[in-house]
Structure 1
């Protein structure tokens, strides 16, 4: 098969497109012909070594495709099924092996490309809005990078739950996308905490922050007393150590650093979240914005554009 292989951590240039042995399928696993692979910031963190993996490795934790073979002890999947997955390594390839316990059936009305674009970020947006902070009608929420793949999904799902959504973006073009997703108010990053307080009076109930270092302090200042700061990513870099007294200063705030694995730890929870996401997509209630599709061989360019903020919505690699 063909795959992207990382033999040394570093810049996008370490993403080598090469021949690679087919993955071995063990009992309980499924072999998939990959139709599309999702590109996420976690892939960048793996590539640069922020979250180290054993070298060499095939990056990519999200994809969709068609079942080519099923291993022993696999039930519920058959050759020809359209499937998707998240948080399983090896997605930047023409073939991938996925544990059946982590595999998701893609319903009619959802294409493999859309499934690859929505699975990881959709599951993340679901747990953030349903579990990390369970949004109630009338809640006011702040979504950073509201025109990015995560931001567009968070905005739409928060609106489905009845929230007033304030988004932050960096350009007029991105503001249009955020408003199309349902954002009630859209701000630029400079001075956003003061602007949020002007709009809400006392601050928002929850901040969904995947930006990290560049927005963290102001995000705390944008919260109302006893508000929740959900720091789910660090696209601008890791947040320095935090003095817990800062949380008291801003009004007994809650701070959490959630991750997807803890929220899909059981098969039942994984299927619940995925069923909601795929169901909303199939019914048209959740729109997936795919901004860029790159050939698998151009993974380095995809990473360059993602890191340079030249993309909106979701980025895919197509084998």
Structure 2
């Protein structure tokens, strides 16, 4: 089968096509014929060595496909079922073996591409807006990179819960995309100091929560944008890791809360995993959650997809198909 294999950490060039033997499912596992794969920053972090993984390694933490074979003891699925997963590796290949406990069924009214575009980033947006800081009606929240794959989903889920959403973007085109998703206010971080703009937009109060997947470049502005006892959810580091923080800064910012959450800890329970996926698929099927596919690439061009993702020039979700 075709696969993308990482044999050493580095830039996009280490994502090399290879031919591997078809894997076989063991007890409790499922062999999946993969049809679509999400491209995510966690794949970038693993490829670069920021998140250590054992080498050689087949990346791809989010994918969708069809059940090809069942391992011993798997009775909850059947061959031919459409399934997807997030936070399990191996998606950058024609076939992958995944623990049955990590798979979610994909309903008929959701396409493979839609499922691959929403499972990792969508469940991230879901746990951020429903669990880390459950958005309350009438609150104002700040979403960084509001035109990105995760940002667009956070904007929509926060709006669905009744929030006023301020989004940060860098260009006219990205502003249009973020506003289409429901962002009420836009801050051009390339032109205006973000915290200053947020204070102006909230009449000095600050926001109830900041959803920050950018990291180093935005952290100080995020902290300065919070209202007293607000929540800074630092869920990514696309610009680099944040330097160590003196806890006294949280006091000075208004007794605010700082958390560095991970999707893995919010889908560790299977009922929680299925519930988040079900909520998202229902919204898609009902036309209440719009997915923007920002680029489709053949599997062999995974390196180009990584280059485009990290360039900050894309909007929406990138897929390997």
SS state at 1:225 partner: strand
Out of 201, 205, 211, the position equivalent to 2:208 is 205
Q: 2:236 and 2:313 mapped to 1: Cα distance? A: 18
Count of aligned residue pairs for this structure pair: 318
Aligned to 2:141: 141
Aligned to 1:303: 306
- String of CA shifts for 1:203-257, please: whole Å, max 9, x gaps: 0000000000000001110000110000000000000000111111111000000
Structure 1 segments of 4 or more deviating over 6 A? none
Aligned to 1:280: 283
Aligned to 1:194: 196
Aligned to 1:171: 171
Aligned to 1:72: 72
Q: 1:177 and 1:4 mapped to 2: Cα distance? A: 32
Identify which range, 158-167 or 19-28, moves more after superposition: 19-28
How far the C-alpha of 1:69 sits from its partner, in A, is 1.0
Aligned to 2:58: 58
How far the C-alpha of 1:315 sits from its partner, in A, is 0.4
Aligned to 1:317: 320
Identify which range, 15-24 or 298-307, moves more after superposition: 15-24
SS state at 2:67 partner: strand
Q: 2:202 and 2:20 mapped to 1: Cα distance? A: 54
How far the C-alpha of 1:23 sits from its partner, in A, is 2.0
Q: 2:168 and 2:22 mapped to 1: Cα distance? A: 43
SS state at 1:83 partner: strand
Q: 2:86 and 2:23 mapped to 1: Cα distance? A: 17
Matches within 5 A, 1:246-265: 246-265=249-268
Aligned to 1:151: 151
How far the C-alpha of 1:70 sits from its partner, in A, is 1.2
- String of CA shifts for 1:291-316, please: whole Å, max 9, x gaps: 10000000010011111112110000
- String of CA shifts for 1:33-80, please: whole Å, max 9, x gaps: 101011000000000100011110001100001111111111221111
TM-score (norm 2): 0.98
Asked if structure 2 preserves the Cα contact closer than 8 Å seen for 1:108 and 1:282, the reply is no
Q: 1:171 and 1:259 mapped to 2: Cα distance? A: 29
Aligned to 2:114: 114
SS state at 1:8 partner: coil
TM-score (norm 1): 0.99
Aligned to 2:225: 222
Q: Aligned-pair RMSD on alpha carbons?
A: 0.7
Aligned to 1:22: 22
Q: 2:182 and 2:23 mapped to 1: Cα distance? A: 42
Q: 2:140 and 2:24 mapped to 1: Cα distance? A: 48
Q: 1:275 and 1:102 mapped to 2: Cα distance? A: 14
Q: 2:247 and 2:220 mapped to 1: Cα distance? A: 13
